């Protein structure tokens, strides 16, 4: 049985739009998750080790103030389009759209004010919480009024994240959660003692600005590679697994999405102070971001990210936590 509680977490400053940020806590016998109405952020995720001791395994901040400052998308839902769009532009039906350039020459994770930086409307559902927002036509340069629902449900050691969307105009959509994990416990110095296993038939080479070159390569022997993976196996059974031998904790990721960004915190540099005053150093966490392929809107041979009027975007990612 999952317990769901809610409380105020803080209030956004006027320059950030104001409004009260709430925190929802989902609690089972083996997992406890805290989720904010700001950016659908997973602010804490506690899970057991082999001895039954809980530890928080995601990076983040103790207070709202940390999340209103610049940070690398800790725990947030990013969109409309996760990852990068080359040169921040694309063309649909003969019309060119221009996006904010917030990552060198490219647009990243929805632009300057993406889904991670706005308040969502919450609704308690059985065993979880559903968030909704309307992204208006033209927001961050994207076409169409986009209705978006993100639902978190917890059953035992399984946290499911479902993403649904509908649009009034054809628009690219690719949503993901950007949690940073360290199964030894957030604040641990690095992830060098973790084992990562990813089932994928290919990976996407990228250029100097991290835009896919357009081709793919076999992924059977890519240990340690940081990149996007595009499994050809049936998506719902595609698996990624991380394990920390010292604690016995493991995380298995299943998804209906066609790809994955495996990121090892290369851009963390110790300057951010997180929960408990921990300094988040390079390689102190990893991300397993289930998503479509980057820049797919500009590469017709990639799995499409286009959502058309009358159609439904509907993807689920399952995070399964265990200890042995």
As annotated, the binding site for beta-D-galactose includes 83-84, 178-180
- Given a contact cutoff of 8 angstroms between Cβ atoms, the answer to whether 219 and 200 are in contact is yes
Distance CA 119, CA 39 (A): 6
**Beta carbons within 8 Å of 106's beta carbon, 6+ residues apart:** 84, 85, 86, 87, 88, 209, 210, 211
Distance CA 12, CA 117 (A): 11
Q: How far is CA 21 from CA 5, 8, 34, 67, 137, in A?
A: 14, 6, 13, 11, 25
Question: 178, 194, 244, 315: which is the annotated catalytic residue?
Answer: 178
Is position 155 annotated as part of the catalytic site? no
Torsion over CA: 103, 98, 141, 84 (sign): negative
Structure tokens at 104: 């060198």
Question: 46, 252, 289, 315: which is the annotated catalytic residue?
Answer: 289
What letters, b where the CB count within 10 A reaches 16 and e where it falls short, cover 268-279?
beeebebbeebe
Nearest alpha carbon to residue 116 among 16, 35, 40: 40
Partnered with residue 197 across adjacent β-strands are: 241
Is position 178 annotated as part of the catalytic site? yes
- Which active-site residues does the annotation give? 178, 289
């Amino acid at each position: 049985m999952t317990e769901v509680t809610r409380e105020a977490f803080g209030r956004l400053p006027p320059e950030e739009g104001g409004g009260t940020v709430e925190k929802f806590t989902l609690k089972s016998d083996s997992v406890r998750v805290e989720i904010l109405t700001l950016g659908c952020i997973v602010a804490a995720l506690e899970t057991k080790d082999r001895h039954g001791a809980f530890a928080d395994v995601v990076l983040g901040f103790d207070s709202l103030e940390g999340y209103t400052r610049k940070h690398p998308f800790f725990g947030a839902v990013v969109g409309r389009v996760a990852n990068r769009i080359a040169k921040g532009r694309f063309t649909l039906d003969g019309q060119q759209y221009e996006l904010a350039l917030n990552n060198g020459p490219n647009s990243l994770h929805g632009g300057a004010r993406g889904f991670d930086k706005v308040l969502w409307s919450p609704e308690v559902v059985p065993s979880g919480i559903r968030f909704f927002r309307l992204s208006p036509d033209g927001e961050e340069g994207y076409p169409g009024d986009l209705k978006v629902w993100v639902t978190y449900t917890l059953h035992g050691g399984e946290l499911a994240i479902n993403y649904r969307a509908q649009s009034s105009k054809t628009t690219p959509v690719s949503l993901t959660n950007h949690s940073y994990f360290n199964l030894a416990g957030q604040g641990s110095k690095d992830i060098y003692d973790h084992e990562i296993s990813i089932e994928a038939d290919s990976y996407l080479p990228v250029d100097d600005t991290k835009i896919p070159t357009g081709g793919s390569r076999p992924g059977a022997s890519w240990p340690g590679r940081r990149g996007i993976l595009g499994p050809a196996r049936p998506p719902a059974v595609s698996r990624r697994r991380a394990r920390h031998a010292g604690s016995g904790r493991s995380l298995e990721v299943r998804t209906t999405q066609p790809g994955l960004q495996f990121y090892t915190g290369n851009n963390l540099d110790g300057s951010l102070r997180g929960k408990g005053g921990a300094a988040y150093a390079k390689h102190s966490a990893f991300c397993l971001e289930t998503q479509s392929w980057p820049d797919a809107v500009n590469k017709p041979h990639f799995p499409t990210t286009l959502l058309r009027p009358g159609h439904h975007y509907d993807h689920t990612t399952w995070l399964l936590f265990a200890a042995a």
